[in-house]
Amino acid sequence: MIHLKNIYKKFDEQWVLNDINLTLDKGKCNLIIGESGSGKTVLMKSIVGLVKVDEGEIWYDERDFNRMGKHEKQALRKEMGMLFQGAALFDSLTIEENVMFPLNMFTRETYNQKLKRVNFCLDRVGLKNVNKQLPAELSGGMRKRAAIARAIALSPKYLFCDEPNSGLDPRTAIRIDNLIHDITLEFDMTTIVNSHDMNSVLEIGDKVIYIYEGCKCWEGNREEVLHSDNKALNNFVFATKMAQKIKKADPT
Amino acid sequence: MLTKALANIGKYMLLMKSVFSRPEKRTVYYRQTIREIESHGLGSIGIITIISLFVGAAITIQTNFNIENPWLPRYIVGVTVRDSLLLEFSSTMVGLVIAGKSGSSIASEIGMMRVTEQIDALEVMGVNPAAFLILPKLIAMVLFLPLLCAISVTIGLLGGYLICLTSDVVPVSDYIYGIQYVFYPYYLTYAMVKTAFYAFIIASVAGYFGYRVEGGAVQVGKSSTRAVVLSSILILLADLILTKLILH
Ligand SMILES: Nc1ncnc2c1ncn2[C@@H]1O[C@H](COP(=O)(O)OP(=O)(O)OP(=O)(O)O)[C@@H](O)[C@H]1O
Ligand SMILES: [Mg+2]
């Protein structure tokens, strides 16, 4: 569980995060949705400490992130996995070396044990026969999946995914969504997913948080998202013609 | 302008502080250092050889031209060529050539990792990105560049020898006698120590410029150009200071 209290962040006199209070639950996919530029990436980077917040507290279970020393933060980060918006695989390393990287850095296992773990993770995300390939030789969706494999290599307690399926075709997008959902349940992780894709919301949104212009505007689950009377949320959810038609056809 | 420079020096110091913090895992850093020696050390032997060969030949001709005096013995040319290579040419040449070659590649490699969020990815994993990315390069260059300098001196002398052999600049026997005449091993140490300083300048300045890139490909390019320019200037400055300090 991750708990945020009164988070504020501004860039050049403009508030990007404004008084965010949140609880992100364990064993669930916590979806953060919002328009482009609403502050989702900044929020996620603030939670993992890549962006320093101006004010507010971040609690990882019983641990106060702001009060942690350098070494405690490093220890906590071994429990985190993160998928970046652009995958951020190390492009000088092969896929196998990429997934093995955290294992090399933080475990004392033998090469064969590590290789076994790497193959398990790659298999889990549905990647086969790409061990010796470089990230540049893979398609966008395969790169995202390899990055997920790297993120779960150390069996993290907290998994962060920044737009795991942006720029992918609907079928691959849903596969990646389901993959994230499955591993969340399987390993009982606290998973946070940034998205602006309504399909993801309906598919895996165990908990949905809507961010509007840097404020938390609405919170609920995938059932409630379609029936809320929050105006900003409705504009977001029913932005497309297709969604509007579905709403008309099914007024419940 | 001045405050900006001071701010940059401060940030550079802070970055160096995190570069020299304890590695998470020695074996990984060790392996990385070997890789860097391969790319920034062994990979530069070729270019240093070619340049040194030509410069050595040119210095021999020039020196002979400058001290053509019937009162001076001919072997003096050999002595002068050797000492100029040792004291100035080889170390500066290696410094400037490697600043251009490795400096730009280090700055753009790290800069590209910054803009594609690979550095953030390292940080989220709990790795200290500054140390992991810069320290192995720094160690590799500080260890290997002095060796390149020694190679450069040797090849430079060979260049002079070849020019004596193929034209009538100085008789070969005089040249050979000259380059062995009153040799101070201390000069070689001096050249290699100087080069080690240059290596530190190149790796740390290029690392700094790459590390603090913000933006995209354009900024990466600009940063790597700046890294090369600044490290070249710093190398020449260091040359002046070290020469004054050590040789006087
Ligand atoms: N480093 C920065 N410096 C200045 N402003 C920034 C910085 N990072 C983000 N911002 C601003 O913060 C706001 C929120 O950006 P953010 O990247 O969080 O959006 P997002 O919700 O992730 O959008 P998208 O869905 O397009 O990824 C934007 O207006 C952006 O201009
Ligand atoms: Mg974003």
Kindly state if the Cβ of A38 falls inside 6 Å of ligand 1.
yes
**Contact between residue A76 and residue A23 where contact means Cβ atoms under 8 Å apart:** no
Minimum-distance CB partner of A77 among B113, B118, B126: B126
Mean of the pLDDT values across residues B90-111? 96
- Which residue carries 């990007």 as its tokens? A16
Kindly state if the Cβ of A214 falls inside 6 Å of ligand 1.
no
Domains of chain A and CATH, by start: 1-78+194-252 (3.40.50.300)
Between A and B, how many CB-CB pairs are < 8 A?
53
Kindly state if the Cβ of A40 falls inside 6 Å of ligand 1.
yes
User: Alpha-carbon distance A172 to A167, whole Å?
Assistant: 10
**Contact between residue A148 and residue A180 where contact means Cβ atoms under 8 Å apart:** yes
Who's near A187: CB < 8 A, 6+ residues apart?
A: A152, A155
pLDDT level of residue B24 (50, 70, 90 thresholds): confident
Touching check for B121 and chain A: CB below 8 Å?
Answer: yes
Mutation site for A-interface testing, chosen from B17, B21, B125 by largest number of A Cβ within 10 Å: B125
Cβ–Cβ gap A75/B126 under 8 Å: yes
**pLDDT, tens digit (0-9, with 9 covering 90-100), for B64-81:** 988 888 888 888 999 999
User: Alpha-carbon distance B189 to A180, whole Å?
Assistant: 59
Return the CA Rg of chain B.
21
User: Alpha-carbon distance B114 to A30, whole Å?
Assistant: 28
Mean of the pLDDT values across residues B29-57? 94
Cβ–Cβ gap A74/B120 under 8 Å: no
- Which residue carries 């596969």 as its tokens? A175
Q: What is the DSSP string of B180-240?
A: HTT--HHHHHHHHHHHHHHHHHHHHHHHHHHHT--SSHHHHHHHHHHHHHHHHHHHHHHHH
Q: What is the pLDDT of residue A203?
A: 86
* % of chain B with per-residue pLDDT over 70: 100
DSSP conformational letter for A228: -
The domain segmentation of chain B, as residue ranges, is: 25-246
Minimum-distance CB partner of B120 among A75, A76, A88: A88
Look at residue A217 and give its three-state secondary structure: strand
Q: Report ipTM for this prediction.
A: 0.90
A247 vs B141: which has the higher pLDDT: B141
The residue whose CA is least distant from atom 8 of ligand 1 is: A42
Q: What is the pLDDT of residue B141?
A: 96
The residue whose CA is least distant from atom 14 of ligand 1 is: A39
Kindly state if the Cβ of A34 falls inside 6 Å of ligand 1.
yes
The residue whose CA is least distant from atom 16 of ligand 1 is: A39
Strands (E), B35-85: none
CA distance A205 to chain B (A): 24
Task: Look up residue A8 and give its two tokens.
Answer: 């504020």
Q: What is the pLDDT of residue A238?
A: 82
Q: From A34, A74, A35, A18, select the one nearest A209 (Cα to Cα).
A: A34
Mean of the pLDDT values across residues B28-36? 94
Q: What is the pLDDT of residue A166?
A: 78
Parts of chain A with a pLDDT under 50? none
User: Alpha-carbon distance A244 to A230, whole Å?
Assistant: 16
Who's near A112: CB < 8 A, 6+ residues apart?
A: none
Mean of the pLDDT values across residues B1-5? 89
Q: What is the pLDDT of residue A227?
A: 82
End-to-end CA distance of chain B: 34
Look at residue A154 and give its three-state secondary structure: coil
Residues bordering ligand 2, an ion, CB closer than 5 Å: A 41
Q: From B76, B78, B65, B72, select the one nearest B160 (Cα to Cα).
A: B78
**pLDDT, tens digit (0-9, with 9 covering 90-100), for B231-244:** 999 999 999 999 99
Q: Which residues on chain B are in Cβ contact (under 8 Å) with A90?
A: 113, 118, 121
Q: What is the pLDDT of residue A239?
A: 81
Centre of ligand 2 from the C-alpha of residue B198, in Å: 41
Q: What is the pLDDT of residue B1?
A: 84
Residue A17 bridge partners (DSSP): A9
Kindly state if the Cβ of A165 falls inside 6 Å of ligand 1.
no
- Which residue carries 């790659």 as its tokens? A122
Minimum-distance CB partner of B118 among A78, A80, A90: A90
Q: What is the pLDDT of residue B127?
A: 93
Kindly state if the Cβ of A16 falls inside 6 Å of ligand 1.
yes
